[in-house]
Amino acid sequence: MKTNQPFSFMKTALVLFFILNSKAQQIIKNDVVNNSNPNNLNINHFEGKNFQDQKRGVVFIYVIDNEGNTFYGSGFLVNTVSNTFLGVEKQYYILTANHVIPKASEISKLYISFDYELEHQNKRRSSSFITFPIYRIPVLKVSSNIDSDITLLKIDIEPSDVDYPSVNKIFNNAYVLGWTLHPDLGGVNKTNVSHPGGDPKKIFPNAYSIEMKMFKTPSETDALKLYSTDYKFFYSMHANASPEGGSSGSPVFENDSKLVSAVHIANDSKHSISSMLENNWFKKENSFGLMDLLDANKTWVSKVNGGYLNDLIPNESVDFDLEINGESGVNKNMNIDLFFFDNLVDHQKLDNILGA
């Protein structure tokens, strides 16, 4: 596992200080924070005001391998079609970049946190320790594709498993991100939320000059090259700063709908590069496709909204009957609303509303 590949997740220096045990309650980081581009914006900057719900679905990933090396990246909790019908029997999946997560046999411990951020709009350094919850999770890759660089992790913890905290504790107040398989590529701006350089959560709004290219991700030692393949990737430019090492695996949002359309995987000197979800939608060789897990009942919907995990409710009014239009096949442009409330308003700045 090498760290000199052009879009590798980052290997940490002696900046992070941990209090970790088998159930990992806390992570403590000293005041040497914000090693990424000074132009990067904290998630609680004014530009992040419309993503105060969605940020609760973006996770900081911290990996310790069998040799004691430490690495970090980003990921996000992703919604499923069946979550809306199974009530309290929730499904927990985290999407990230394939290169962020080594082979399970090489991992000693893997931790995630939803809460690694700075409260201030512009603060670059903390005058005191930053303390936030971090939890150890089991490693189970259920869908993985080296070429598209997308991996789906399933979090399945039995109540009797004493090595890990309960899922209720890990995902308390967590937000599951919605997704779309048919993003608008016609110059529509995109937004990224991630942990560049292992820093507290940042937002990269209004990426411009969006274009789509077809290429294959390289091996660990090759430079980034273009290939003629069937995989689809976003190329995008950012006005002031772009995601960087540590942002790998984070979500790329459609600005208007707040749905995830791709996974950020790489940067070169000018661009941010992201892999579209449809690259992994169908089964590839010996790995499940995302459809097998996020839409296990094969409803063929192409867009699912997000929401707070604890607020997911059965919505029996949703009609999943497939509509066949002659030779055109299945109509996949159905939209599901999983929630009674307007998730962009009712839960925005929830802590402020409660006076916390």
Q: For residue 179, what pLDDT band results from cuts at 50, 70 and 90? A: very high
- pLDDT confidence of residue 97: 92
Over residues 328-344, the mean pLDDT reads: 37
The pTM assigned to this predicted structure is: 0.77
User: Which positions ≥6 away from 222 have C-beta within 8 Å?
Assistant: none
Per-residue confidence (pLDDT) for residue 291, from 0 to 100: 92
8 Å CB contact between 283 and 138 = no
Quick one: which of 150, 353, 132 has its CA closest to 232? 150
DSSP 284: B
Q: What is the pLDDT of residue 351?
A: 38
Share of the chain above pLDDT 90, in %: 20
Average pLDDT, the chain: 72
**The residue type at 41:** L
Domains belonging to the chain, first-starting first, are 1-356 (2.40.10.120)
Ramachandran class of 113: left when φ > 0, alpha when ψ lies in -120 to 50, beta otherwise: beta
- Cβ atoms of 305 and 339 within 8 Å: the answer is yes
Alpha-carbon span 21 to 224, nearest angstrom: 38
186 — pLDDT class (breaks 50, 70, 90): low
Higher per-residue pLDDT: 321 or 101: 101
- How far, in Å, are 174, 181, 207, 340 from residue 114 at the CA level? 7, 25, 24, 24
Look at residue 1 in the predicted model and tell me its pLDDT. 34
pLDDT recorded at residue 183:
81
The SS3 assignment for 54 reads helix
Residues 298-316: pLDDT tens digits? Answer: 888 888 888 888 777 554 4
**Statement: residue 326 has pLDDT above 70:** no
pLDDT tens, position by position, 95-135: 999 888 877 667 888 899 999 988 877 666 655 456 788 99
Nearest CA-CA partner of 139 in 126, 150, 152: 152
Confidence of residue 27 (pLDDT cuts 50, 70, 90): very low
1-17: per-residue pLDDT in tens?
333 233 333 333 323 43
DSSP 329: -
